[in-house]
Amino acid sequence: MDLNYNLVEGNLLINNPHATHHGGVYQCIATNTFGTIVSKEAKVQFAYLQNFSRKPRNTVSVREGQAVVLLCGPPPHNGEIKYSWVFNRRPSFLLQDTRRFVSQRTGNLYIAKVEASDVGNYTCVVRNMMTNATVYSSPTPVELRRDAVMAEYEPKIEVQFPESLHVTKGSSVKLECFALGNPVPAITWRRTDGNPLPGKMKINHSNGVLEIPYFRPEDAGAYECVAENSRGKNIAKGQLIFQSMIAHNVYKLTVANLQWECRASGKPKPVYRWLKNGEPLVLEDRILVEGGRLAVSRINLLDSGMYQCLAENEHGAIYASAELKVVASAPDFSKSLVKKSMLIQRGGEVIMECRPHASPRASISWRRGGEFLKDSKRRTIMEDGTLRISNISESDGGRYTCVARNPFGTSSSTGTLVVKEPTKITVPPLSVDATVGQSIVLPCEVSRDSSLDPTFKWFFNGKLIDFNKQDHFEMIGGESAGDLMVRNIQLKHSGKYVCMVHTVVDSVSAAADLIVRGPPGAPEGLMVGEITDSSAQLSWGSGPDNHSPVTTYTIQARTPFSIGWQAVRTVPDSVPGQMFHATVIDLNPWVDYEFRVVAINNVGVGEPSMQSKQIRTKAAVPEVAPGNVSGGGGSRGELVIQWEPIPEELQNGEEFGYIVAFRSLGTTTWKQTVLASPDASRYTFRNDSIPPLSQFEVKVGVYNKEGEGPSSHVVVVYSAEEVLARTLSASEIEVYWEPIPQTASSGKIIGYEVLCWEEGVQESDAEMVKVTDTVALLSGLMGSTLYLISVRAQNSAGAGPSSPAVNVTTKKPPPSQPPGNIEWNLTNSKIFLKWEHVKAMGNESEVTGYKVVYRQNWLGKSSVVETNRTSVELQVPSGDDYLIEIKVLSGGGDGSSSGPIRIPKMSIVLDGLFFCLFTIHVI
């Protein structure tokens, strides 16, 4: 009679609830004309959340790379709460990820691997989801120890779910799992029985929580959380047990017996109680309870009512309800009519059910039209009243009526049987071989009843082909054909194909195998056996032949000196597909090799095997002599010998070097020297007594630690020819040399070619001057420029070898500024000239003097006077015009001219008087 309570359509409404008066256990009792049942118990508790202690929390010191667990220690509370953490008093909560996790069971913060950025203060936040109250803990300081950095270690699962957990139907279960480790472990979930995880499953962003909502029996089983990093892995396991209650409604006649079983699972094992109409069941002689089993014998109308089975253990209680209805009635088809129309193929079988509601149970008979049916070879009326007809023919079509009788009456229900022609596959798919890249069609054509529309489906290795998602498959054909086209066939398309045709009355199928032939797969297990200086024994295992036998194997090799992989010679020359070993030959000694094997079949060349480990062939005496042996040039008294060095891959061993031998042409004794350098390509023999351009026979051999190898062919090399050169000016160089002695071998020397080219220019682009003497003047050159000069003799057969190039630098250019401020005067037959001194620029030759050039008229003969002063007196006859110009003299040659100065004859003064006519300033 508490006014705080109100009953609203079965719901109990508590106004202004108070913990003292209204906390406790409640049950709902429901009653109608059929009986009474009670609900499961409902417990009312009041949510609250107290404050954290204000006591400061201790500082946590941790090394970088180490894990840390920060304890929350929530205050007293009741009701669902949620845990969060705040870092450094930031307004937002700490975000969880694969490295940081907050357990909603303990409230603790787990950091799998501490980083420098984790240093700071951490505050645990607890929120009551019912009252929305929130409290904050004192901050926990985290500091970084500097004494060391934590090494890597395998995962350790710190947060894990129970080994067994009972879950009721429809509830939501959350499993927590988080691991510490360095590197940060990755968390994955799986079922140990191999079944896929439920599709409704949810995994949070850190993978640390697996949630299964709306729990069902199929969700039960063993679950695993796997934490793994590069150092190892750890596994946590748990069993989810479906906690259920199973009960059955049972309908029995008077004087019948009732067996009613109630089953529930739980740990510890549940205890059972039975209720009738909400009250404990009263036991008597004919009513027995044994565990979850209820037995009632000699049922009467008073036994009707609502029964409840209650299973309970320390974790709670669950109820299952059922009605026992004791009735008597005539047969009734209103809820279970005979199927109105049944389509069946000719030759097939039909089962017609007859399930009327009757109490007591009705006897069943069947009639077709007006004729009652009896059992025959093809027709059988089964014990439960079902009519079965096999090997159906067209004559079996028609209306069939089920008749049901009991002491309280008779009733019937009628359905029609329609017989259709069976569907047959007339053109089935045939097994076929195909090659990778081809396209084929697998046929599937049917004959069918004209009134039925067939549906074609194709299965590949037991799975239905989805033509919207499979690019390689397409179904083609008309109404009675569903051919399958497979385009651009790949190896993965090998397998069994099934064409299945459905109609409303039957279903037929036909299967075929498709074998796809492709290039072989990679050979396996390549091993290198015995190794010599030029061979290696290889063995391997066969890879997949992809339905086309391997015909041959090819061996490929790679060295540090090769460009990619190259085919090598083998014994046998062609390795057949049934042979899994070969000897590689013609290898270079003392070279690192890697090998791989490639299989070939009639389809093509397969993928190569994994390369072998790197091996080195044994050393041997060198087999290749140096090439392009030549020489010549150098300074006076030198014999220069050159050759192409032997590549490293042909040196055949350690301590490789060259043996250089030479002798004067016509002599028999060889002089030789050893060069212990594999990179040597030049040797110079010096002897001042060697005449220029003397002829020598030369050969170059090779050796290594194993012994001496071959020598090159003998060639003739000339000794050096001496060439001298001197700079005359900024634009001229004088070159001279000693003549070549006339010998029978050299022939008559008819001249010389002098080559001259600037530094940085190719010798092939040099300027050439031909002379018959042993001196040449090169002009038209640029000042302050380095030139290279060489000379070669010429006879009737052509030009000989060039002498070594001589470096010569031309002098600085002469001053570019002409003499200026020129003044002149004359008396009788004397002309006096005066000018300013010219100063050379930094890149010009110093002034050494001046040159005065004068002549009568324009066509007169010029006279020259040189002086190191800036004035001069000229004796000239009178009576004519004079032209005069002044040039600068320098080591680089003549400088710029002042330009012609004209002195006219009218300016001559008579009677011995001196008269200055004018002064000319030339700028």
| Rounded Cα gap, residues 133 and 48, in angstroms | 8
3-class DSSP state of 724? strand
pLDDT at 697 over 90: yes
If you count DSSP H runs as helices and E runs as strands, how many of each does the chain have, helices first?
1, 88
Closest CA relative to residue 402, chosen from 362, 375, 359, 343:
362
Kindly report the backbone phi and psi dihedral angles of residue 266, in degrees, each rounded to the nearest multiple of 5, phi listed first: 180, 165
CATH classification for the domain delimited by 627-708, as one of 2.30.30.140, 2.60.40.10, 3.90.226.10, 3.40.50.10090: 2.60.40.10
Structure tokens at 657: 């070097």
Q: Is the pTM of this model over 0.85?
A: no
3-class DSSP state of 45? coil
Torsion of CA 213, 219, 223, 226, to 10 degrees: -50
Q: In terms of C-beta density within 10 A (0-12 exposed, 13-18 middle, 19 or more buried), how is residue 197 classed?
A: middle
Residue 598 CB: number of other CB atoms within 10 A? 20
Query: For the structural domain made of 257-324, what CATH number should be given?
Result: 2.60.40.10
Q: In terms of C-beta density within 10 A (0-12 exposed, 13-18 middle, 19 or more buried), how is residue 544 classed?
A: middle
Q: What is the pLDDT of residue 107?
A: 94
Closest CA relative to residue 96, chosen from 204, 236, 188, 227:
204
pLDDT tens digits for range 325-338: 777 778 889 889 99
3-class DSSP state of 477? coil
Q: What is the pLDDT of residue 921?
A: 39
Q: What is the pLDDT of residue 253?
A: 47
Contact 388, 408 (CB under 8 A): no
pLDDT at 909 over 60: no
Q: What would the mean pLDDT of 726-741 be, rounded to a whole number?
A: 83
Cβ contacts of 633-636, under 8 Å, gap ≥ 24: 633/720, 633/801, 633/802, 633/803, 633/804, 634/684, 634/719, 634/720, 634/804, 635/720, 635/722, 635/804, 636/688, 636/692, 636/720, 636/721, 636/722
CA 923 vs CA 558, 817, 820, 898, 899: distances in Å: 78, 10, 5, 8, 10
Query: For the structural domain made of 329-337+354-415, what CATH number should be given?
Result: 2.60.40.10
Contact 835, 823 (CB under 8 A): yes
Q: Give the lowest-confidence range in 295-299, 411-415, 849-853.
A: 295-299
Non-local (6+) Cβ contacts of 469 within 8 A are: none
Contact 793, 799 (CB under 8 A): yes
Q: What is the pLDDT of residue 743?
A: 64
3-state secondary structure 762-807: CHHHCEEEEECCCEEEECCCCCCCEEEEEEEEEECCEECCCCCCEE
Structure tokens at 303: 């036994």
pLDDT tens digits for range 232-272: 999 999 998 887 655 444 444 444 678 888 888 777 888 99
pLDDT tens digits for range 820-856: 888 888 777 788 888 888 888 888 888 888 888 888 7
- DSSP 8-state secondary structure symbol assigned to residue 563: S
Contact 292, 328 (CB under 8 A): no
pLDDT at 915 over 70: no
Residue bearing tokens 């006897």? 363
Which residue(s) pair with 865 in the sheet?
852
Q: How far is CA 91 from the centre of its chain?
A: 40
pLDDT tens digits for range 494-534: 999 999 999 888 889 999 999 999 999 999 999 999 999 99
Q: In terms of C-beta density within 10 A (0-12 exposed, 13-18 middle, 19 or more buried), how is residue 331 classed?
A: buried
| Rounded Cα gap, residues 13 and 143, in angstroms | 53
* High-pLDDT (> 90) share of the chain, %: 48
Structure tokens at 593: 């090799």
Non-local (6+) Cβ contacts of 596 within 8 A are: 526, 555, 556, 558, 565, 608, 609, 610, 611, 612
Q: What is the pLDDT of residue 536?
A: 96
- In the chain, the amino acid numbered 708 is E
Domain 723-810: give its CATH architecture. Answer: Sandwich (2.60)
| Rounded Cα gap, residues 473 and 489, in angstroms | 9
Q: What would the mean pLDDT of 450-458 be, rounded to a whole number?
A: 88
DSSP character string of 842-911: TTSPPEEEEEEEEEETTTSPPEEEEESSSEEEEE--SSS-EEEEEEEEETTEEEEE---EEE-GGG---T
3-class DSSP state of 672? strand
Residue bearing tokens 């979850």? 292
Q: What is the pLDDT of residue 865?
A: 87
Q: What is the pLDDT of residue 917?
A: 38
Contact 517, 546 (CB under 8 A): yes
The answer, yes or no, to whether the previous bond of 549 is cis (omega within 30 of 0) is: no
Contact 51, 75 (CB under 8 A): yes
pLDDT category of residue 580 using cuts at 50, 70 and 90: very high
* High-pLDDT (> 70) share of the chain, %: 95
Which residue(s) pair with 34 in the sheet?
none
Structure tokens at 327: 């009735």
| Rounded Cα gap, residues 29 and 14, in angstroms | 17
Query: For the structural domain made of 424-516, what CATH number should be given?
Result: 2.60.40.10
The superfamily (CATH) of domain 153-244 is: Immunoglobulins (2.60.40.10)
pLDDT tens digits for range 524-565: 999 999 999 999 999 999 999 999 999 999 999 999 998 999
pLDDT at 43 over 90: no
Whether CATH 3.40.50.300 fits 524-617: no
Contact 556, 566 (CB under 8 A): yes
Q: What is the pLDDT of residue 409?
A: 86
Q: How far is CA 483 from the centre of its chain?
A: 39
Q: What would the mean pLDDT of 101-115 be, rounded to a whole number?
A: 93
| Rounded Cα gap, residues 537 and 540, in angstroms | 11
pLDDT tens digits for range 626-655: 999 988 777 778 899 999 999 999 999 999
Residue 122 CB: number of other CB atoms within 10 A? 22
| Rounded Cα gap, residues 907 and 366, in angstroms | 166
pLDDT tens digits for range 735-755: 888 777 666 556 678 888 899
Delimiting residues of CATH 2.60.40.10 domain(s) in the chain: 153-244, 257-324, 329-337+354-415, 424-516, 524-617, 627-708, 723-810, 820-903
Structure tokens at 885: 């110009």
Contact 65, 150 (CB under 8 A): yes
Contact 848, 766 (CB under 8 A): no
Looking at domain 820-903, its CATH class is mainly beta
Kindly report the backbone phi and psi dihedral angles of residue 596, in degrees, each rounded to the nearest multiple of 5, phi listed first: -150, 160
